[in-house]
Amino acid sequence: MSKFARTVLKNNEVNEQEWLRPPYLQTYEFSDEPLYVLPAFLSRADSSPLSERRRDPNNVVDKNGEVIEDPSADPSALAFESDPNLVHEKWNEYWRKVHGMRFIHKDGPNDNSISRMLRYDQVHRISGGPTSYFPPPYKVPMDENGRLYESVLGCIEPYKRPQHDGLAYMAFKTLEDLQDSFGSKNKFPSRIVPEERIIFREVPHLIAKEYIIIPNSGPRDPLVLIKVHKRKPDLKRKQFQDIWLHEHADLVLSKLATHQYVKRYAQLHNVGSSSESEQFWHPYGSTIDGVTAMAFASMNDVEDFLMTEDYALLEKHEATFINHHESEYYTCLNYNIINRLHPEVATRR
């Protein structure tokens, strides 16, 4: 550890273990077995009308902790942030710098909520990155003579927002570890869930098996392309996942552009709850069949990859088993909070 880092730790009286990243933690040796992952999609508590964005029944509360029936009726009533001009920036900062620290804090001697969590990433959606609603190449808006408009008034396209603002990406060795970490004996029901009612509109989640197709060779890269998949209606989930894991993954691996740009490629297969009575069931999360996570070194690499002929062929193949009208993708910035995993290896398929 550098002298500067030791000084910072001393001045802030922070135990080294609180950083929850190597070299302060014992690492878990990867095997080629899939890990269990809880991807939790998040949308910030804002004043968007319910016709534009869903919300979980007990989320978005006023300053007295009471559920607000219509968040758009009076933005000043929202407990998290009453100024609509600040809520986006404040939410990103709070999720990373405040909620992240509360999440990893050992809340008393009996709290073992993160003791078996192998990795926790916050994946923040970046509005300036590619989305399925505004993919590259970006075209110059111009008139019929190829000239820029003198004024953009009346020429600005409406913003098409993905359903969520990011996701929490939490990995465990076993399903039992995942379930126990969020159980009633730990801090989540009493400390974290009440906070989530204030800062999140919706928290759909699912239990997934993580299949790593391309492992990262070092620390995970900062940019992540998240693709939320729903299957074609004529396919069962198992059929969809078999095509995706074998036929499509092999096609991805066969493309030159993949090896030129993609630093990590993982598939999260929904293997979670199928009924409302089961733990971790969510009405939206249960409809997701899988999630793609592709890592990149820069935003330019994300854009360049999406503009290749190779990617066009991959997207064409996706259309044979993925319902693109019900699916979406967006670009995110990845913050690593907990990391016990090293080195990463490809998962046996």
Please check the confidence at residue 296 and state whether its pLDDT lies above 50: yes
Residue 11 above 60 pLDDT?
A: no
For residue 58, the Cα-to-chain-centroid distance in whole angstroms is 22
Residue 261 contacts residue 269 (beta carbons within 8 Å): no
Q: With DSSP H G I counted as helix, E B as strand and the rest as coil, what are the percentages for the chain, rounded to 5?
A: 30, 25, 50
Share of the chain above pLDDT 90, in %: 80
Q: Three-state DSSP class for 332? A: strand
pLDDT value at residue 22: 55
Is the pTM here over 0.85, yes or no?
A: yes
- pLDDT tens digits, residue range 183-200? 888 999 999 999 999 999
Name which of 296, 312, 340 is nearest 17 in CA terms: 340
Is the CB of residue 246 less than 8 Å from the CB of residue 349? yes
- Token pair recorded at residue 67: 């559920």
Between 267 and 14, name the one with better pLDDT: 267
pLDDT (mean) for 241-270 = 98
Q: Say how far apart CA 61 and CA 50 lie, in whole Å.
A: 14
Any idea which of 98-107, 158-167, 201-210 has the lowest mean pLDDT? 98-107
Q: Is the pLDDT of residue 12 over 60?
A: no
pLDDT-derived band at 7, boundaries 50, 70, 90? very low
Encode pLDDT of 14-67 as tens digits: 454 555 665 556 677 788 999 999 999 999 999 999 999 999 999 999 999 999
Give the pLDDT of residue 1: 46
Contact 106, 120 (CB under 8 A): no
The residue type at 82: S
Torsion on CA atoms 267, 103, 48, 228, rounded to nearest 10: 0
Which distant-in-sequence residues (6+ apart) come within 8 Å of 92 by Cβ?
124
Tell me what the mean pLDDT of segment 335-342 comes to: 89
Identify the band that residue 172 occupies on the pLDDT scale cut at 50, 70 and 90. Answer: very high
18-27, 120-129, 193-202, 260-269: least confident range: 18-27
| pLDDT tens readout for residues 229-252 | 999 999 999 999 999 999 999 999
- Percentage of the chain modeled with pLDDT above 70: 93
